[in-house]
Amino acid sequence: MIYNYNEDYQYDSCVSRGICSVNPRTSSLQEVLVIYLKTTAFYALKLYEHGIINIEAKDAILNTISIMVSNPEFSESDFELLTSRFNEVLPDMIEEYQDMCKEKGIEAELIKTPFKSYKKIDIIQAIRLGEKEFLKGTKALSQEVRDLYKVLFVIAKSICINILDLETYDTEESDGYVTILKILDSLNSKEQDVEKIKSLILDVSRIDNKLMKQLRQAQEERYGKQRVSEVSFTTTPGKAVLVVGSNIRELEDILDALASTDIDVYTHDEMMLANTFPKFAEYKNLKGQFGQGMEGCLLDFATFPGPIILTRHSLFNVEHLYRGRLYTTDSACSKGVIQIKNKDFSDVIKAAEDTKGFKTGKQCESVNIGFDYDVFLEIFRQKLAQKDYKHIFIIGQGGYTLDQQTYFNKLLRQTPDDVLMISLSYPHTRDNVIHLDGCYDNFAITKITEGAGVNEGRNGEENRAIPITVFFPQCNRHTMSQMMFLSSIPNLNIYVGKCTPIILNPNLINTLNKIFGINGLSSVKKDLDEILNKTM
């Protein structure tokens, strides 16, 4: 289901106002942060090879990548905070590494950096340095190699999100952090062998898939097994708080903090997924979902009559957003956003009490979201037993744009009867269609693909008699990693729709097509002809 209660609403403020984009100034500062990250990773890996994990370095790396995930506006104080951590950590790490080498009688390897010393860096100098490093990379590496390194860094962001989310469930992981170090250190070597970079991409995507499984297991252990749930879009009179993002563990903290108040809580965008877990039905002040999602965040934030909490990893360019009532639990925040520390929501409660809240409320239609995985498997097996299907289509979470809706509605109508279609977003009443509601579930498409008979295996050795094509109608922070993971499975095609440029631009889709066989959507007729006539 498309969670858009006004079907004619096509205004995408995320794209049209640059809210999900990154400006040149921020891009240059990020280049400098990448220098710090890859330098720290180099020495952290050297120490790790000898059984030493530098906790300060780990904290600096994970939190910096976490903050870079959604490309917020870096103020001077934000940038200084991030770089100061590295300026404190790096000299001690280098000294620790050199002392270890001396003790073990081995020669220390040192890496050159453009920094003369690890001291405070001026913001203007940093912007110039970032521009210089970007141009240097453009000259030294081919477009194809630069694109592959971009893929690696996007996957590193996905891994970082999953590691930090797992930590909120007190769940330890063994491979994720070292994988991030390897990704960052690969930027030091400037490897130009496409096959070697491709191999690394496939390896790290498998690690990320493992982390996503661990996260889902931790969520279900804490909140119960996912199920079909009814979610209201109705607003009721009263004071209210809006919770944005994907970290449902933080939603639990917020609901607990507000449990003794009369303040209602509404979810926004990906946070809607929390409603599929039984535990959240116990919270009486969790009223439902508000707004159009991130595509309409400008209007949603401006019209919500209460404070708005941006949970971790949901920071983005807030220049055009409604300021003064934005709060975040992230370790650094953009201009105009108030930071919440140590789970202290007292300022949010006061702000909610001081704002007008919903005076009358508005009645809107509820929707059913989520699905029971075991029920799906039973239906899927029955379908295969009843008919000899030649192909399986799996359609992921849908996009809001009219073009996306038109394409997939046509696909569901025009696909031949001997193709079994599993749609996680777009409903259709045909015998060869199984409709499930993915509801912002990042792991759903991978889980359903495996349930359809595709297992990860080892080194792509698994095979199927029935070919599978997976469609990604839209992109998020985990899509790149999922596509890379699935691309290594034989007998499986991947098609991806239009995404925001910061995730997938036209140049990058050309590289993904050439190296990984991933296709961009064109027309339904052309894509069907290509898929069904292709020998897999």
Closest C-alpha among 163, 263, 142 to residue 210: 163
Task: Enter the DSSP assignment of 362.
Answer: B
Axis-axis angle for helices 76-104, 123-140 (nearest 10): 60
For residue range 187-242, list pLDDT tens digits in order. Answer: 888 788 999 999 999 999 999 999 999 999 999 999 999 999 999 999 999 999 99
Q: How far, rounded to the nearest angstrom, does the alpha carbon of residue 9 sit from its chain's CA centroid?
A: 25
Res 324: pLDDT: 66
Mean pLDDT of 300-314: 88
> Using H for helix, E for strand and C for coil, what is the string for 251-297?
HHHHHHHHCCCCCEEEEEHHHHHHHHCHHHHHCCCEEEECCCCHHHH
Phi, psi of 5 (to 5 degrees): -80, 0
pLDDT reported for residue 11: 41
**Whole-angstrom distance, CA of residue 500 vs CA of residue 519:** 16
Q: Compute φ and ψ for 440, nearest 5 degrees.
A: 60, 20
Find the distance separating the first CA and the last CA of the chain, reported in whole Å: 31
Mean pLDDT of 491-495: 94
Please check the confidence at residue 323 and state whether its pLDDT lies above 80.
Answer: no
| 221 contacts: CB under 8 Å, gap ≥ 6 | none
Give me the pLDDT at residue 5, please. 34
* CA separation for the pair 318, 316 (Å, rounded): 6
Half-sphere exposure of 439 (CA within 13 A, CB side): 24
Are the C-beta atoms of residues 433 and 387 closer than 8 Å to each other? no
The answer to whether residues 1 and 370 touch, using CB atoms and an 8 Å cutoff, is no
Tell me how far apart the alpha carbons of residues 476 and 474 are, in angstroms, rounded to a whole number.
Answer: 7
The pTM for the full model equals: 0.87
User: Is the predicted pLDDT of residue 474 greater than 70, yes or no?
Assistant: yes
Q: What percent of the chain shows pLDDT beyond 90? A: 56
Domains of the chain from N-terminus onward: 226-354 (3.40.50.2030), 371-533 (3.40.50.2030)
* Per-residue pLDDT tens over the stretch 427-458: 888 999 999 988 888 889 988 988 876 444 33
What is the predicted pLDDT for the residue at 74?
Answer: 59
Residue 317 above 60 pLDDT? no
CA torsion through residues 507, 510, 514, 515, sign = positive
Q: Is the pLDDT of residue 72 over 90?
A: no
* Average pLDDT, integer, range 266-279: 94
Q: Please choose, from the candidates 315, 317, 325, the residue with its C-alpha nearest in 3D space to the C-alpha of residue 241.
A: 325
**Does 373 have pLDDT greater than 70?**
yes
